[in-house]
Structure 1
Amino acid sequence: MIMMMKITHLPFDLITDILSRLPAKTVVLMKIICKSWRNLIDDYYFVNYHLEQSLATKTNLHYVVSTPKLYLQEYAHLEEPFEQNCPVLYSADFGSFDNPIELRHPFKNCKTPVWVIGSCRGLLLLRVDNGHLLLYNPTTQTYNVLPLLIVYQPTMSDALFDYGFGYDHVSRDYKCVRIFQSLYKEIWCPLCEVMVYSLRTNCWKRVVDVPCYFRSRGWGNGVLVNEMCHWVGTDSDDMYKHIVAFNFTDETFSCLPLPNALLNYQYEQFHGLHMEMLDGSLSLLANRYPHCDLWVMKEYGVAGSWTRMFTFETLDTINLERPIGYSSDKKKLLLKTSLFRLLCVDLETMEYTEVTFADWNRGLDPHVYVENLLMLDYAEFIDESHVRKKRGKRKNRRRRRRKNEN
């Protein structure tokens, strides 16, 4: 009689390998099987091993997009209700870009708009309208509130904020960079302040300024490629010169070349020049009516490696802004347009299909993230309901502790 071996009796290395290949949400459910599995899944080294496995195989990838959900709030001193935006986040995989699922994020019912401004190794960088920044893991539903930065903004100036989010493999630390640039129009004198946040130390510090003044196009959010954050912008004369890059390891700036075909064009000659990470490489969407060219830097940092991959027809009154990602079979490409719509383009027929979310046909801040098991420390959020929830959890822990002592 052959006895069936229980799965819990498998060699530990084999169990580790099997679990590391499963989606993070599935792995979390495996904690209930036995204590040894729970200890393994909660272990810091397994959490990172699982993440590195997903990044290496490009599996467990999803895209996240936010939509404005309107709700009404009565104010005693107003005769009519007042409209505000409530963030609703949707997530979907890269199989077909269909069936997005609404995320039950912990600040869903806050009374302040929340924007996704960066993504790195499964974590999202969010910006709240009142100036707060948050790190959020959509898989484990945990988050951290970054210390608030106060910036003096001089009058009679052209002030810009640019943000970037990345990971330093040397120190194994998640970092956020905020670039503040202000240009006195009367004397054309630039001011600059570059601050870097470290998740390991949970504090900001000032680093070297940018080597040149640039005005970023789009939302001022950096594009993470090769452990560096990138911005494409113009100089004071609205001329495209180069790409500004920030290295998260040594916290310094450098410049990368643009495609030679795009140099020396005035900004007005473009309907838009937008940069994004596509399949691990820097990419540019150059809108020049009636066409839109997709350029990809095949070899990082090499000007001659810029390659024009696709040419799309420009839609009426709609500019193509950002390539989000290929489908799993590389036959489709998800694009963001200037009217906050997401389009899925068939790369064989070049036909467009609109992506919708429940009863809303537009999406904001689309980003790619990978499922992971990283748990962020809970920090107080600006919404009072979350503060009360945290206090209730503390009371329950103290109550259980006293019960165990008795």
Structure 2
Amino acid sequence: MKLGTKLKIPLRNAEMVHDGGEDGDPQMGCFPKGSGVKRKRCIKVKPKDQRFKIVNSCSGFLCLSKPTRNNPVAVCNPVTGEYINLPVANRGDENMDGFVDCGFGFSPRTNQYKVRRMFDQWTRDHRFANREGYYGRGAEIHTLGTESWRSIDNTPQSRYKLAFPTYLDGGLHWLCLDKGCCLYSSGSEVIVTFDLDSERFQSVLQLPHEYHSEGSSDKGTRKVSMGVLGGCLCICDASGYSPIDIWVMKKYGVQESWTNLFSIDTICDERWPYGLYQPINFIKNGTVLIFHYFKSALIHYDDRRLRFRYLKVRGAKSRFEAIAHIPSFLSLKDAVVGDKAVVMNVNTRYG
């Protein structure tokens, strides 16, 4: 199978590359001065200039972040090639070692796209030789089309990473797999939710009662992921050696509505690799697409025939991650509110 579609995302340091690098020479030659060779107009791009981490997808747009700290820096439409650079954050950058939990979504009530970031806050304590000490979590929110971030309260006081940012029906969701990770929880693994209309954390959703990660022999590493299948919030649990359980919440917010969509018995077929699986798409005829992180493979599973097709990404020198993304021709110029945002385009040199 050949994947012929080519989508474009911006360079992480596009402005530096456009300006000719750190020396500020927009006509950086492929040969040094004085070499006797006529210098050609070209642009030198280093691998580090291209690296991005994809946070999540919403309405055909992707939120991109720096790979080291996961700090959100841009929103793009890979189909049209348009992108918007996010403004520099106000807070949280003083701790360069901290990981940023972030997510991107749409507020139906205000008709605005928003990016939410959470980070560790540190202060110097004069009582202990002016050493830095942790004093809680901070949070900011940015509305696409504005020029700055706004500080907001009501942040869960968790020092654990919140994984798999997922947008669904006006809300952002994070999966917290560490016990006691959130003051709202009672020592159980939970889904933390944030309402983009009210800009507040609304509730914590409990995982299915039959969720078997508690009894897994691999307690040190949870093989659980979150996503959206068929318009419903879903959990994929592969913590045990068998089976792989996929749950969907049929009625949002109702604990009793968790339904076991698939329970894939993998013990009878050694071709099923052990590790973390990510649900990608559910097809109503009884098939599901799931992605295996460590093998960088897409698996097409047919529940009616109990068969699967293993599609390996060949030629890859590194591991991949996968998210569900529905492409759109919606222009970022029509999506943002106000005229403060500068919409760039990867198809033109200067945007």
Pick the aligned partner of 1:302 from 250, 254, 267.
254
Bigger proportion of residues as helix: 1
Greater alpha carbon shift after TM alignment, 125-134 vs 163-172: 125-134
- What is the aligned partner in structure 2 of residue 345 from structure 1? 301
Matched, 1:255 2:204: yes
- What is the aligned partner in structure 2 of residue 225 from structure 1? 168
Matched, 1:276 2:221: no
Q: Give distance in 2, aligned partners of 1:332 and 1:176.
A: 33
Q: Give distance in 1, aligned partners of 2:175 and 2:156.
A: 14
Matched, 1:311 2:215: no
Structure 1 residues not aligned, in runs of 5+: 1-96, 394-406
Shift in CA distance, 230/200, structure 1 to aligned 2, threshold 3 Å: same
- Asked if structure 2 preserves the Cα contact closer than 8 Å seen for 1:112 and 1:128, the reply is no
Pairwise CA RMSD of aligned residues?
3.6
Local SS of the residue matching 1:118: strand
- What is the aligned partner in structure 2 of residue 367 from structure 1? 324
Deviation, structure 1 residue 387: 12
Q: Quick one: percent identity of the two aligned structures?
A: 23
- What is the aligned partner in structure 1 of residue 214 from structure 2? 265
| One-letter identity of the residue aligned with 1:302 | V
Local SS of the residue matching 1:295: strand
Aligned positions of 1:160-199 closer than 5 A: 160-181=99-120, 191-199=136-144
| One-letter identity of the residue aligned with 2:138 | E
Local SS of the residue matching 1:290: coil
Shift in CA distance, 316/190, structure 1 to aligned 2, threshold 3 Å: farther
Shift in CA distance, 105/262, structure 1 to aligned 2, threshold 3 Å: closer
Deviation, structure 1 residue 163: 1.3
| One-letter identity of the residue aligned with 1:299 | K
Deviation, structure 1 residue 378: 4.8
- What is the aligned partner in structure 1 of residue 190 from structure 2? 242
Deviation, structure 1 residue 174: 0.4
- What is the aligned partner in structure 1 of residue 17 from structure 2? none
| One-letter identity of the residue aligned with 2:210 | A
Matched, 1:107 2:55: no
Q: Give distance in 1, aligned partners of 2:194 and 2:215.
A: 25
| One-letter identity of the residue aligned with 1:338 | Y
Deviation, structure 1 residue 182: 6.4
| One-letter identity of the residue aligned with 1:294 | I
Deviation, structure 1 residue 152: 4.1
- What is the aligned partner in structure 2 of residue 146 from structure 1? 86
- Asked if structure 2 preserves the Cα contact closer than 8 Å seen for 1:286 and 1:294, the reply is yes
| One-letter identity of the residue aligned with 2:199 | E
Matched, 1:321 2:299: no
Deviation, structure 1 residue 312: 1.6
- Asked if structure 1 preserves the Cα contact closer than 8 Å seen for 2:62 and 2:76, the reply is yes
* TM-score normalised according to structure 1 size: 0.60
- Asked if structure 2 preserves the Cα contact closer than 8 Å seen for 1:139 and 1:371, the reply is yes
- What is the aligned partner in structure 1 of residue 19 from structure 2? none
Local SS of the residue matching 1:348: coil
Matched, 1:335 2:310: no
- What is the aligned partner in structure 2 of residue 124 from structure 1? 62
Q: Give distance in 2, aligned partners of 1:134 and 1:320.
A: 28
Shift in CA distance, 345/320, structure 1 to aligned 2, threshold 3 Å: farther
Deviation, structure 1 residue 241: 3.3
Structure 2 residues not aligned, in runs of 5+: 13-44, 124-132, 182-186, 334-340
- CA offsets, 1:257-292, max 9 Å, x none? 221223892784464121111111110011222211
Local SS of the residue matching 2:100: strand
| One-letter identity of the residue aligned with 1:295 | W
| One-letter identity of the residue aligned with 2:105 | G
- What is the aligned partner in structure 2 of residue 94 from structure 1? none
Shift in CA distance, 354/221, structure 1 to aligned 2, threshold 3 Å: same
| One-letter identity of the residue aligned with 2:79 | T
Greater alpha carbon shift after TM alignment, 285-294 vs 247-256: 285-294
Aligned positions of 1:41-60 closer than 5 A: none
| One-letter identity of the residue aligned with 2:324 | H
* TM-score normalised according to structure 2 size: 0.69
Shift in CA distance, 342/134, structure 1 to aligned 2, threshold 3 Å: same
Matched, 1:204 2:149: yes
Q: Give distance in 2, aligned partners of 1:192 and 1:215.
A: 11
- CA offsets, 1:231-273, max 9 Å, x none? 1214455753321100000011121122122389278446412
Q: Give distance in 2, aligned partners of 1:166 and 1:142.
A: 17
| One-letter identity of the residue aligned with 1:127 | S
Instruction: Figure out how many residues of one structure are paired with residues of the other and give that number.
Output: 285
Deviation, structure 1 residue 322: 1.3
| One-letter identity of the residue aligned with 1:173 | Q
| One-letter identity of the residue aligned with 2:87 | P
Q: Give distance in 2, aligned partners of 1:183 and 1:332.
A: 48
Q: Give distance in 2, aligned partners of 1:285 and 1:139.
A: 29
